[in-house]
Structure 1
Amino acid sequence: MSLDPEQPSTTAPESGYGAHGIVLVATAATLGMFLAALDTSVNVALPSMTEDLNADLQSIQWVIVAFVATQAALVMGAGSFADRFGLRPVYIFGAATYLAAMLFIAFSPNLETVVGFRVLQALGTGCLFAVSPAIAAGVFSSSRRGLSMGFAVGSQALGMLAGTIGAGLLVGWIGWEWIFLGRTPFAVIAVILGVWVLERRPRESISPASGPAFDVAGAAMLVGGLLCLIIGLRLGRSLGWTSPVVLTLLPLAPAFFVAFWRIELTAKWPVLPGNLLRMWGFIVSSSSMFLANLGVFVIWFIFPFYVADSLGGGALTLGLMLATLAFLNTISSGTGGWLCDKFSYLPVGVGGLLVMASGLLYLGFLDTESSLGHVALRVGIVGAGLGLFQAATYSLMLGSVPSDRFGTAGAALSLSQSCGRVLSVAIIGGIFGWRSDHHLEVLGVGAEAEGVAFIKAFKDVFIIGSSLGLLAAVVFLIGGWRLVPAGPLLDGQATQPVGAGEVGLD
C-alpha cells in the first residue's frame, strides 16, 4: 500500500461571518451537540417511566432501543444529504424535529406512543450529530480546527453532564415528563440560531438540476441493514439467539449491506463515497472511535449494577459518579482541542486512549469495600482520557476529508460510536453473563457467592474494555504516524496535519 501524493484540499472555505457571527455560529454548533447528548437523562428516568406507563423491564427497554437503532441508521444519510443540499436546512430540520418530539413524548399517554415519538426524536438527533461538527469545522480556519472540535466534543460531554444531574432532580421533583419538556428552551434557541445565523447556500447550487441526485436507494439499504443488525442484537440478548425473529433479522443485515455497497459503486452522490474509504485519516479515526466505544461503554451498562448491588448506592450516587466522568470529559475535550492545534492530534489521541485504558483497568480492581472517592477517581480518569481522544479524533477526521464532505465525516464518527456501543452491550454483555455464571459455578450457590462472582466478572470485562482501549491506541498510533508531515511546515500550509493520504493498491 502507498500514500497518494495528490491530497484534496481540506481547508474549509473562509466564512463571511464577522467576529460576532462566528460566536453565534459556534454556539449553534455546540448547542446541536449539547442537545443530542442530553439523552443520557432517559436512563435515569427509566424506573419512573416503567411505573407510570405500566410497562415491564423488557418492554421499557424499547424506549432506548428504538432511539439508538433509528439514530444510528439515519445519521449517515443525514450527513450525506447535508453535504449535497447544505448544512443549514438539515440543522434546522433536526432542531425543529427534536423540539416537536420533546413535546409529543412528554404528553404521550402510553408506552407505544412514547416509543413512536422516540423514533422521531432519533431523526432529529441524527441530523444534529451529523452537521454540528461540520458547522464548527467550517466556521474556523484549519489552524484552529482542534479547538473547534474540542468545543464541539466538550459540549457533547456537557450535555451528558447536564442530562445526568438534571434528570435526577427533575424526575424526583416533578416527574419524568420534564426530562423532555426541560429541553425545549434549548431546542427553541437552536431553531432560532439555525434560521438566523447559518449561511444559506445559493439556490442554484442545491437544485436537483445543478448536481447529482441524493442517493435515496443507498440510504434506504443502509438504514435497513443497521436496523436489522441493532434490533437483532438487542432481541438476541432478551429472546435468545435461536429466536425466529433474531434468526430472521441478523441474516438480513449483511444482505442489506451488500445491496448498499453495490448501489454506492454507481451512485452519482453516494452516501459513503469510496474515496473516503481510501483515506487513512478517515479509516484511522473511524476504526479507533469504534474500538474505544466498544471498550468504554461497559461503564454505562455494567458499572451501574456495581454501584447499586455491590456498593448499595442509589440513583443519586450513580448520577454523581457518571457526572464526574462527564465533567472531566468536558474539561479535557477543550484542552485536547487546544493541544491538537499546539502540537498534533497524534500525541493527544494516543495519550487520551492510554489514559482511558488505564482508568478502565483501574476500575476493574474495585471491590465491595471500595470507597466512593476511589470510584470517582477512576471514573474521572476514564472521562479525562475519553475527552482528549474524542477531540483528537474529530480533529483528525475533519482535517482529513474535503470540506464538501464534512457532514459525511461527522456522521461516520457518530455511526462508529453507535456501533461500538451496541456491540459492546451484545458482546461484552454476553461475556459478562458467561463469566459470572462460570465464577458462580466454581464458588457455589449463595448470596455471598453471587456477590463475589459479580465482582470477578466485573473485573474480567473491565480488563477486556481496557485491552480494547489499548488496541484503539495502537491503531491510532500506527495509522496516525503515517499522516504526520515529515518536514517543517511551509508558509501558508495548514498547521494541522491533515492526513488525507489515500490507501493505494499499487
Structure 2
Amino acid sequence: MRKWWPLLTVCLGTFMLLIDVTIVNVALPQMSVDLHTSFTALQWVVDGYALSLAVLLLGAGALGDLSGHRRLYIGGLVVFAVASLACGLATGSGMLIAARVVQGVGAAAMFTTTFALLNGAYQGRERGVAYGVWGGVSGAAAAVGPILGGLLTEGLNWRWIFLVNLPISIAAVVLSLTVLRPDHGNRKGRFDVAGTVTFTVAASALTLAVIRANEEGWTAFATWGLLVLSAVALVAFVLVERRSAHPMLDLGLLRNRSLSGILIAALLVNVAAFAAFTYTSIWLQSLIGLSPIKAGLIGLPMSLVSVVVSGIAGAKLHGRSPRLLIGAGMLLIGVGSALCALLLGPDSSWPALVAGYAVIGLGVGLVMPTLAESAMALVPRDRGGMAAGAINTARQLGFAIGIAVLGTVFASRAEDHLNERGVPDPAGTAHGLAAGQAGRILEAVPQAARSAADTALRGAAIAGLDAAFLVAAAAGLLGGIAVLIMVRPVRPAAPGVEQPSDDRSTVAA
C-alpha cells in the first residue's frame, strides 16, 4: 500500500486545484448578493482563477524541468493555501478576484508537475493505473466541485469553499516532504522570461476580448483592440521561442501531428464538458429554486461515471492507441452536451440534465487519463514538464475562454428571447439573468405582471442554455474529429521504456 502514497499526494493537490475551478459555481448567487457584484465581476471570480492557471502553466512546466518538480509542487501548495485564505477573508469583489488570480498562480505550479511526479514514482502497468486514478480524480473534481460547493455554501457560508483548502494543503505539503522523491531538474538553462510574458499577454488579451465582446459586442473598438494585441503578442511569442536557446515551449514539438491533435482535444475538452456548469448552476438555483446542495448533486452522475470509466481505462486499456480512446471520448462528450440541449425545454427542471451529464461523464472518463499519458509518451524525458505544461495550458485556457464564450452565447440568446416577447431592457435583463439575479428582477416587477415575467425569464434561460450546450456539443465533436484525423493509429511507447533523447526522432513522427 505504501507504493501508492505518491499517487495520493499528487491527487490531493490535483483534486483541490481542479475542484476550485467549479466549486464556486453554486456559490455565485450568494456571492453576488453578499458582495454586490456586477455580472462582469462575477464572471471574473471564475475566469480570474482559470486564466491565471492557464497562462502560467507553460512557464511553470519549464521551471519545473529546471528547478525540480517536487520543489515547485510544494511551493505551489504554499501559495495556493495563502491565496485561499485571502479569498475566504475577502471583503469585496476586487479583493476576491485578486486573490483568485494568485490562487491560480499556485495551482499552475502544482498542476504542471503532476505528470512528472507520477512518471518518477511509477513504471509499466502501475503507471497506467496511476494515470487512470489521476484521470478519474481530475475528471470527477469538476463535477464534484458544485456538490461540495453546495454543501459548504448552504451548511456554512460561501467563504468556506476557500477556507477548506487550508487543512488539505497542509496535509499535501507534509506528504510531499515525506513520500515524494526529491529531484533537481532534468535540463539546464535559464527561465524563459520573454516567452512567459508574451504568452501571458496573448492569452489574457484573447480572454479579455471575449468577455468585452459579451458587454460591448464583437464590433466594439475595445474588443478588436484586444484581439489585435493578442495576435501581436502571439507572433512575438513565436519569434521569441524560435530564437531562444532555452524556450518555454519547443515549437518543434508541434510538428508531431499526434501531439498537435492531442493538444486540440485538450483545448476543447473543458469547453465541451464543463464550461456550461456555471450557467446550469445559476439556472437551477435562481429559477428552479434548488438549494446549492441540490444544484451541486445534479452533477453526481457525471462524477460517478467519469471516476469508474477512468479507473477502467487506466487499468484495462493501458497501452491502447490514444487515437480511439480520446477520439471516442470527445465524441461522447459532444453527444452528451447535445443531449442536454435536446432535453431542455421551457418547462424543464433538473431531470433534463441527468442523461446528458452521464454521457459526458463517460467521455470524460476516457479522455482525461489518456490525454496525460499519451502526451508524455510522445516527447523526450527532458521535455516532460514542457509537454505537461502544454496539455494543461490548453485545458485550462479552453475552460477560461469557454466560460466567456458560453456566457456571451447564453446572454445573447436570452436577450433575443426577451426582445421577441417585448420585455423592457432585454440586454440588461439577460445579463442579470446570467448573473443569477432572477429573484431581484422579479421583485422589481409589479405583482400583477410577475407571473408573465417569470415565464419570460424561464424561457430566456432555457434558450440561453440550449445555445450554450449546442456550442459545447460542437466543441466536443470537433475535438473528436480532429483526434481521429490527426493522431496516428499506433500505440504509444510503453511507459517503462526510455524515450529517445534526440528531439528530431520524436517530433517528426
> 2:311 corresponds to which letter in structure 1?
G
Q: Distance in 2 between matches of 1:430 and 1:110?
A: 25
Moved more, 101-110 or 114-123: 101-110
User: 5+ residue gaps in structure 1?
Assistant: 1-18, 495-499
CA separation of 1:146/1:480 partners in 2, compared to 1, >3 Å: closer, same or farther?
farther
Q: Provide the rounded CA distance (Å) in 1 between the counterparts of 2:255 and 2:457.
A: 49
Quote the Cα distance in structure 1 between the aligned partners of 2:478 and 2:13: 31
Alignment-derived partner of residue 388 in structure 1: 366
- 2:91 & 2:283 partners in 1: Cα distance? 33
SS at match of 2:388: helix
Instruction: Quote the Cα distance in structure 2 between the aligned partners of 1:173 and 1:313.
Output: 14
Among residues 458, 483, 489, which one is paired with 1:476 in the alignment? 483
Q: TM-score, normalised by structure 2?
A: 0.83
Asked if the contact 2:15–2:137 (Cα under 8 Å) also holds between the matched residues in 1, the reply is yes
The code of the aligned residue for 2:207 comes to I
User: Paired residue for 1:14?
Assistant: none
Shift in Å at residue 30 of structure 1?
1.1
Q: C-alpha distance in 2, partners of 1:48/1:305? A: 10
1:199 Cα offset (Å): 2.3
**Cα pair distance change 1:428/1:73, threshold 3 Å:** same
**Residue 238, structure 1, aligned to residue 238, structure 2:** no
Asked if 1:355 is matched to 2:332, the reply is yes
Tell me how far 1:102 sits from its aligned partner.
Answer: 1.7
Residue correspondence of structure 1 range 160-309 to structure 2 within 5 A: 160-201=142-183, 211-241=188-218, 245-308=222-285
Q: Distance in 2 between matches of 1:317 and 1:396?
A: 37
CA RMSD of aligned residues (A): 3.1
Task: Name the CA distance, whole Å, in 2 between partners of 1:438 and 1:46.
Answer: 24
Measured at CA, do residues 395 and 375 of structure 1 come closer, stay the same or move farther in structure 2, by a change above 3 Å?
A: same
CA distance in 1, matches of 2:417, 2:35: 37
Greater Cα shift, 367-376 or 26-35: 367-376
- Cα displacement (A) at 1:273: 0.6
Please say if 1:102 is aligned against 2:79: no
Whether the aligned pair in 1 keeps the contact of 2:136 and 2:368 (CA below 8 Å) is no
SS for the counterpart of 2:299 is helix
Q: CA deviation at 1:34?
A: 0.8
| 2:46 maps to 1:64 | yes
Partner of 2:19 in structure 1?
A: 38
In 1: Cα distance, 2:159 partner to 2:468 partner: 35
Structure 2 equivalent of residue 138 of structure 1: 120
Give the Cα–Cα distance (whole angstroms) in 2 for the partners of residues 303 and 53 of structure 1: 21
- Pick the aligned partner of 2:396 from 411, 418, 421: 418
Residue 75 in structure 1 maps to residue 57 in structure 2 = yes
Worse-matched range after superposition: 238-247 or 153-162:
238-247
Structure 2 counterpart of 1:270, one-letter code: P
Q: In the TM superposition, what is the alpha-carbon distance from 1:249 to its structure 2 partner? A: 2.8
> Matched residues in 2 for 1:115 and 1:451: separation?
30
The question of whether the paired residues in 2 share the 8 Å contact of 1:284 and 1:476 is answered with yes
* Segment drifting more, 474-483 vs 436-445: 436-445
Contact 2:136 2:308 in 1 (8 A): yes
Residue among 305, 308, 314 paired with 1:328:
305
AA partner of residue 392 (structure 1): T
TM-score computed with the length of structure 1 as normaliser: 0.84
In structure 1, which of residues 98, 115, 137 is the aligned counterpart of residue 97 of structure 2?
115
Q: 303-312 or 127-136: which moved more?
A: 303-312
The 2-side partners of 1:427 and 1:41 are apart by 20
**Which residue, 265, 269, 293 being the options, matches 1:316?**
293
- Aligned equivalents of 1:421 and 1:160: distance in 2? 11
Contact 2:275 2:406 in 1 (8 A): yes
1:89 and 2:71 matched: yes
Tell me the amino acid that sits aligned with residue 378 of structure 2.
Answer: S
Q: 1:314 to 1:171 in 2, by over 3 A?
A: closer
Contact map agreement 1:310 1:368 (CA 8 A) in 2? no
CA separation of 1:463 and 1:181: change in aligned 2, threshold 3 A: closer
Moved more, 129-138 or 348-357: 348-357
**Contact 1:321/1:375 (8 A) holds in 2:** yes
> Matches of 1:175 and 1:443 in 2, distance apart?
38
Cross-structure match for 1:398: 376
SS in 1 for 2:318: helix
Q: Distance in 2 between matches of 1:409 and 1:343?
A: 20
Go from structure 1 to structure 2 and tell me whether the alpha carbon gap of 1:116 and 1:423 turns closer, same or farther (over 3 Å shift).
closer
Q: Deviations over 1:242-279 (max 9, x none)?
A: 55544443321111111111111121221101231122
For the 8 Å contact 1:70–1:119, the answer to whether it is kept is: yes
Deviations 1:154-210 (Å, cap 9, x if unpaired)?
2223433543222222222322221111111110111112222222235xx68xxx8
Q: Distance in 2 between matches of 1:121 and 1:493?
A: 36
Match of 1:24 in 2: 5
User: Given the superposition, is the C-alpha separation of residues 100 and 29 from structure 1 closer, same or farther in structure 2, using an over 3 Å criterion?
Assistant: same
| C-alpha contact 2:51 2:397 (8 A) present in aligned 1 | no
Q: Structure 2, unaligned stretches of length 5 or more?
A: 424-451, 499-504
Q: For residues 438 and 365 of structure 1, do their structure 2 counterparts lie closer, same or farther at Cα, with a shift above 3 Å needed?
A: same
Q: Distance in 2 between matches of 1:433 and 1:62?
A: 16
- Give the letter aligned to residue 477 of structure 1: L
Q: What CA distance in whole angstroms lies between the structure 1 residues aligned with 2:178 and 2:458?
A: 56
User: Aligned letter for 1:23?
Assistant: W
The reply to whether residue 467 of structure 1 matches residue 474 of structure 2 is yes
Question: Do 1:69 and 1:231's aligned partners in 2 also have CA atoms closer than 8 Å?
Answer: no
| In 2: Cα distance, 1:196 partner to 1:264 partner | 37
Kindly provide the amino acid, as one letter, of the partner of residue 393 in structure 1. Answer: L
Aligned twin of 1:502: 507
Offset at residue 86 of structure 1 (A): 1.3
| Contact 2:272/2:333 (8 A) holds in 1 | no
Q: Is the 8 A contact 2:379 2:506 kept in 1?
A: no
Q: Match for 1:24: what amino acid?
A: W
Structure 1 residue 143 displacement after superposition: 4.3
Secondary structure of the 1:38 match is: helix
Q: Is the 8 A contact 2:241 2:249 kept in 1?
A: yes
Q: Aligned partners of 1:374, 1:49: CA distance in 2, in Å? A: 27
User: Aligned equivalents of 2:456 and 2:34: distance in 1?
Assistant: 35
Please say which of residues 171-180 and 446-455 is displaced more in the overlay: 446-455
Aligned length: 473
Q: Check 1:356–1:338 CA distance in 2 against 1; reply closer, same or farther (3 A cut).
A: same
In 2, Cα distance between the equivalents of 1:170 and 1:439? 35
Q: How big is each residue's C-alpha offset from its partner over 1:217-264, in whole Å with a ceiling of 9 and x where there is no partner?
A: 111111122222222322332344455544443321111111111111
